[in-house]
Amino acid sequence: MAGPVVSSDAAADSQAKISADIEEISRDYAASGAVETQPRIDYAPYRSSILRHPTKDLHHADPETIELWAPAFGQRDVHALESDLTIQGGGEPIGERMTVRGRVLDGDGRPVRHQLVEIWQANAAGRYIHKRDQHPAPIDPNFTGVGRCLTGADGSYSFTTIKPGPYPWKNHHNAWRPAHIHFSLFGTDFTQRMITQMYFPGDPLFDLDPIYQAIVDPQARERLVATYDHDTSAHEWSLGYVWDIVLTGSHRTPTEEDTDV
Amino acid sequence: MSEQLVPTPGQTIGPFYGYALPYEGGEHLVDRSDPRAVRLHGTVYDGHGEPIPDSMLEIWQADADGTVSQEPGSLLRDGYTFTGFGRVAVDNAGHYDFTTVNPGASEAGKAPFIAMTVFARGLLNRLFTRIYLPEDGEALARDPLLASLPEGRRETLIAEREPDGSLRFDLRLQGDGETVFLSYPNHRPGDPA
Ligand SMILES: [Fe+2]
């Protein structure tokens, strides 16, 4: 192996080949009658997953001590202004100003309160601030694409940002990622930790994208798509999207503080 | 008020988290000058035994006396408070380093471990694992998770103590010596990850 990323960056396959593979897996899933809610980790159309997924089944563990708790974050960690990605430079970033808001809930419907939410995204032209991003689209000097917030007592979060652009990548020839915002989430116990991506309604790239399609269940995929919400849009200012996030269930018996809304 | 909701699917961390998630001091749960400081390090490998250069790891652990911290301040450490949480991006050779303490047992007689979450480009959902300390053979032998693993796989969860006191813990995402990764009861049965 010449280098660790070469094999997946070769971009040898056509979209038609990748799409055919996606379709075949999708047909097999539909015929199986099973219901899956998470992505496959073994999903060959996403080329770099081939050598990076465990082949053995995940081993069942009953959570103990430390796993029944999550790290705590507070105002010391996150400044209130970090949830506004449009004020981090000397001027206004270019693009479509938007708000994305929603709630973080656990699998029992309880709000995840005062917990850390981190996001990162491309700018309006589809470019990240990252040395490995070689996409010849402009960097916006007024936009880092990075934000953080703490959820409120009702599990709510809100970010002001710029709508990210789609961008090319090297999974296959002419591969483009649908526009998305990366989200990193913590729950009330360690086992709920997750990282995911939020998408925008009606993206024409959905069917072509092996990362999105690695969630083989159509209904499960939909859970990553935000809803346009006109009440969240602000007059002569920004467009609004709503996206709620559900973590897996907590394993710790809820305390009064967890449940008392 | 409780209703069962279906969890939101995970997705890969992708390649471009570098400016967003790792932060200064993330890998130092304690200062290197702390007399209790222990180096926890290792390399993340793929199914061909090649190092993975774009992986991010998090650890979450009890203090040396077994206390689970609920103190904030992991993202902006004050140099005094043990928050129990650390995050590091591996380097170009797939290697990571944390500075931490040996976790104490949170319950008497239990084998202490560090909980770890693994993210990587190419990894479509996070993976969970445990890093056990190698010393307390009796507690390790009694540990329900280790006992449920076949010989040969068990060792993938036990760190190696190096002569200078460091803990060495390599991760193999696939293939020979594949690390044991965990699912928990509330990760719905049937979910592949
Ligand atoms: Fe991305």
CATH number at A106 reads: 2.60.130.10
B80 contacts B28 by C-beta, under 8 angstroms: no
Nearest to A61 among B11, B145, B153 (CB): B145
Give the pLDDT of residue A256.
56
Say if residues A178 and A164 touch (Cβ distance below 8 Å): no
Point out the catalytic residue in the list A128, A199, A212, A241: A128
A9 pLDDT more than 80: no
The predicted-structure confidence for A109-150, as pLDDT tens digits, reads as follows 999 999 999 999 999 999 998 877 788 899 999 999 999 999
The token pair at B190 is: 């049937």
Q: How far apart are CA B113 and CA B59, in angstroms?
A: 10
Q: Given the structure tokens 């379709």, which residue do they identify? A: A23
Rounded Cα distance, B156 and B132, in Å? 9
Residue A67 lies in a domain: no
Q: DSSP label at B82?
A: -
Count of structural domains within chain A: 1
What's the pLDDT tens digit per position in A58-108? 999 999 989 999 999 999 999 999 999 999 988 999 999 999 999 999 999
User: What is the rounded CA–CA span in Å between residue A212 and residue B124?
Assistant: 10
Question: Do the Cβ atoms of B185 and A251 come within 8 Å?
Answer: yes
Spell out the alpha helix ranges (H) of chain B. Answer: 137-142, 144-147
- Taking only the tens place, the pLDDT of each residue in A189-206 is 999 999 999 999 999 999
**In the annotation, is A135 catalytic?**
no
In a domain, B193, yes or no: no
Q: Identify the CATH number of the domain in which residue B56 sits.
A: 2.60.130.10
Per the structure, the complete domain to which residue A195 belongs is given by 15-50+73-246
Q: Residue A53 and residue B173: Cβ atoms within 8 Å?
A: yes
* Three-state DSSP string of B49-67: CCECCCEEEEEECCCCCCC
- Asked if the structure places residue A206 within a domain, the reply is yes
Is A199 an annotated catalytic residue? no
Does residue A2 have a pLDDT over 50?
A: no
3-state secondary structure (DSSP) of residue A40: coil
Count other C-beta atoms under 10 Å from residue B7's C-beta. Answer: 24
Structural domain includes residue A63: no
Q: Is residue B104 part of a domain?
A: yes
Q: Is B192 inside a domain boundary?
A: no
Give the dihedral sign, CA B93/B156/A184/A126: positive
Count of the separate structural domains present in chain B: 1
pTM of structure: 0.95
Residue A84 covered by a domain: yes
CB pairs under 8 A between A and B: 294
pLDDT in tens, A10-44: 568 999 999 999 999 999 999 999 999 999 999 99
Residue A254 lies in a domain: no
Residue A259 has pLDDT above 60, yes or no: no
Interface pTM, i.e. ipTM: 0.96
Query: Is A65 part of any domain?
Result: no
pLDDT of residue A5: 41
Residue B45, strand partner residues: B51, B172
CB contact under 8 A, B14 and A182: yes
Do the domain assignments include residue B7?
Answer: no
The pLDDT value recorded for residue A19 is 98
Structural domain boundaries, residue B51: 37-172
Digits of tens for pLDDT over chain B (193 positions)? Answer: 456 899 999 999 999 999 999 999 999 999 999 999 999 999 999 999 999 999 999 999 999 999 999 999 999 999 999 999 999 999 999 999 999 999 999 888 899 999 999 999 999 999 999 999 999 899 999 999 999 999 999 999 999 999 999 999 999 999 999 999 999 999 965 454 4
Residue A144 lies in a domain: yes
Mutate which: A115, A128, A188, A195, vs B, most B CBs within 10 A: A195
Distance CA B56, CA A208 (A): 27
Query: How many degrees, rounded to 5, is the angle at CA A204 between CA A201 and CA A208?
Result: 120
